Structure 1
Amino acid sequence: MAQDDPRSLVSTDWLAAHMKDPDLRILDGSWHMPAENRDPKAEYDAAHIPGARFFDIDEIADLRSDLPHMVPPVEKFMSRMRAMGVGDGHQVVIYDTKGVQSAARVWWLFKLMGQNDVAVLDGGLPKWQAEGREIEDLPPMIRDRHMTVRRQNHLVKDVTQVSSASKLGDYEIIDARAAARFKGDVEEPRAGLRSGHIPNSKNVPFADLLNADGTMKAADACRAVFEAAGVDLSKPAITTCGSGVTACILALAMERFGKTDYAVYDGSWTEWGAFPTLPIATGEA
């Protein structure tokens, strides 16, 4: 079991022990690919950890962009958190219905907004339920709470910055997609995207960082996965994936073993793969 750290990852035992803390806020950050035909809000309404609020990744986003769930404007994030009763002085714990997946995106988004007392629930709702812990279908009691936001711009990169990093090699670009997608051996799940990867990037499939039960591997084991993929951990890192969700699992894993000079490419392959003028590579890294 991973060591509890309220700024990155906590266990179900830790959450159970802190459930009655007055400044604890629990968020359901579940999200699914469109092809899965799952409605995370409906699933939340039917069953969630007591007191949890639902964090809608697709709505708490920059809806002016054609790309999915891009980082929202600061003002929108602040207003949504106020409405959810999440603010200054709160310890936030985020879970999802798969284990450690989209919750990592919400964790990173809070970090981007300058919030540090935020963690992902290791193993998520599946582990919580497998242990026979309480769930409910009641909406939480919410009181407005102000949140002070200080956006940490170094934690996110855009396509221009990633293109420069690909050419200069001053960052390690690390792709969280499965190996077949990285190598360009299969079609992308989103229509209209080319297959392959950003030139000079490395492949660390996010699944390699997880145990069979959906929990995250220990910090040293996560570090070993990056090293085995040929990642130079002395360089700052940019993580990428399909649409900026599982890239955050890589960021969370790096945070766990003490590497904090990382950023997430928000547009990820949904943006890069759609532009015919951007170069792509296929095959092994």
Structure 2
Amino acid sequence: MRKFLFILIACFILSTYLTMEGAASEVTYPNQQLLIGVEELAERLNDPNLMIIDTRNEGYGKGHIPGAFSFDTKKLVDSTHPVEGYLIREKPFEELMKTLGVRNEVELVIYDAGVDTAATRLFYALELYGHNNVRVLNGGYAAWEAFEGEQSTTGPEVKTSHFKAKTSPQIEVEKEYVKSGIDNPNKIILDVRSREEYKGEDVRTKRGGHIPTAVNIEWKEVLTDGVPFFKVADDIERMLQQAGVTKDKQVIIYCQKANRASHMYFTLRLMGFDHLRMYEGSWQEWGNDLHTPITNPNEE
């Protein structure tokens, strides 16, 4: 009897230990509220205070998360701006959100295919224009399919809203401001393009290379293989620190047309960074300007 009791107690202790270990191993981030998992979303599909937005370029009609509204992020591009890919300004964005039916008081959940920048591009635009109650689905639609979540082929009725935009002027910066970050010990310029673009081997403008003193972390390095979940916080933190991207510095982010930069913007927000700036013109503007300084190892 004593032996049996001892075994029961031992099993209880082991079970408690494993439970605690499992809880400790859960992935958490400094700004965890910016991310939502498929399990939580599945439980909240009928929440009237939640609006889900599908930003995939294709596939919505074949299957999407029930209740999700379809949104084409190409509409975020200002076709009249001289820099290709530039984000639309406050008033056009406001009208776009009204047409989609976004309300200022609603909580938004945005998703894309997974290894994509569409959801985080919209996330960035919403934060820039004053809507801060936004979450991104971890792993995107790839995670929802792996979870075998419920799917729908019909979209909800779209009702025009009274959305109001208000620009946060401290987020977006222009070319001259970026120049002030070169060799500045209090600022770090973060290039999130591929290594080939950064080194000037993959040239997509008049000139190839990168902004002088910029460090390079490709945007998708923060995602896991397979289902593209965000890597655990410790791994992302280690990656950032190795590149010199730390919270005591202002971080200026750029890529080619600011789409990949928007993904890194979200990643750094998730990781608790406060001093972030987005160079909207990115390399599309910088690389086509013959008067901007560049670093190109291929020309040294």
Answer whether TM exceeds 0.5 for this pair. yes
1:204 aligned to which of 185, 209, 217: 217
The correspondence of residues 153-232 of structure 1 with structure 2, limited to 5 A, is 153-166=169-182, 168-184=184-200, 186-188=201-203, 190=204, 192-212=205-225, 213-232=227-246
SS of 1:142's equivalent?
coil
Q: How far is 1:151 from its partner?
A: 0.8
Q: Is the 8 A contact 2:197 2:208 kept in 1?
A: yes
Distance change >3 Å, CA 263–CA 7, structure 1 → 2: farther
**Which structure shows the higher helix fraction?**
2
Q: Is the 8 A contact 1:93 1:118 kept in 2?
A: yes
Say which is worse superposed, 105-114 or 139-148, in terms of deviation.
139-148
The correspondence of residues 138-153 of structure 1 with structure 2, limited to 5 A, is 138-153=154-169
- Is 1:248 aligned with 2:262? yes
Distance change >3 Å, CA 18–CA 6, structure 1 → 2: farther
Q: Is the 8 A contact 1:85 1:145 kept in 2?
A: yes
SS of 1:152's equivalent?
coil
Deviations for 1:107-140, whole angstroms, at most 9, x for unmatched residues?
1111101111101111001111122112222122
Q: Is the 8 A contact 1:26 1:93 kept in 2?
A: yes
Distance 1:115 1:258 in 2: 18
Name 2:8's counterpart in structure 1.
none
Distance 1:266 1:222 in 2: 24
Deviations for 1:22-76, whole angstroms, at most 9, x for unmatched residues?
021111223xxxxxxxxx1x42233322222222222233221133332212111
Distance 1:10 1:236 in 2: 27
Structure 1: 5+ residue runs without aligned partners?
31-39
Report the count of equivalent residues. 271
> What do you get for the CA RMSD once the two structures are aligned?
2.1
Q: Is the 8 A contact 2:193 2:256 kept in 1?
A: yes
- Counterpart residue identity of residue 102, structure 2: V
Structure 2: 5+ residue runs without aligned partners?
1-25
Distance 1:29 1:159 in 2: 29
2:128 aligned to which of 112, 133, 137: 112
Q: Is the 8 A contact 1:50 1:136 kept in 2?
A: yes
1:18 aligned to which of 44, 54, 66: 44
Identity %: 28
SS of 2:152's equivalent?
coil
Q: Is the 8 A contact 1:193 1:270 kept in 2?
A: no
SS of 1:20's equivalent?
coil
Say which is worse superposed, 110-119 or 248-257, in terms of deviation.
248-257
Q: How far is 1:7 from its partner?
A: 4.5
Name 1:46's counterpart in structure 2.
62
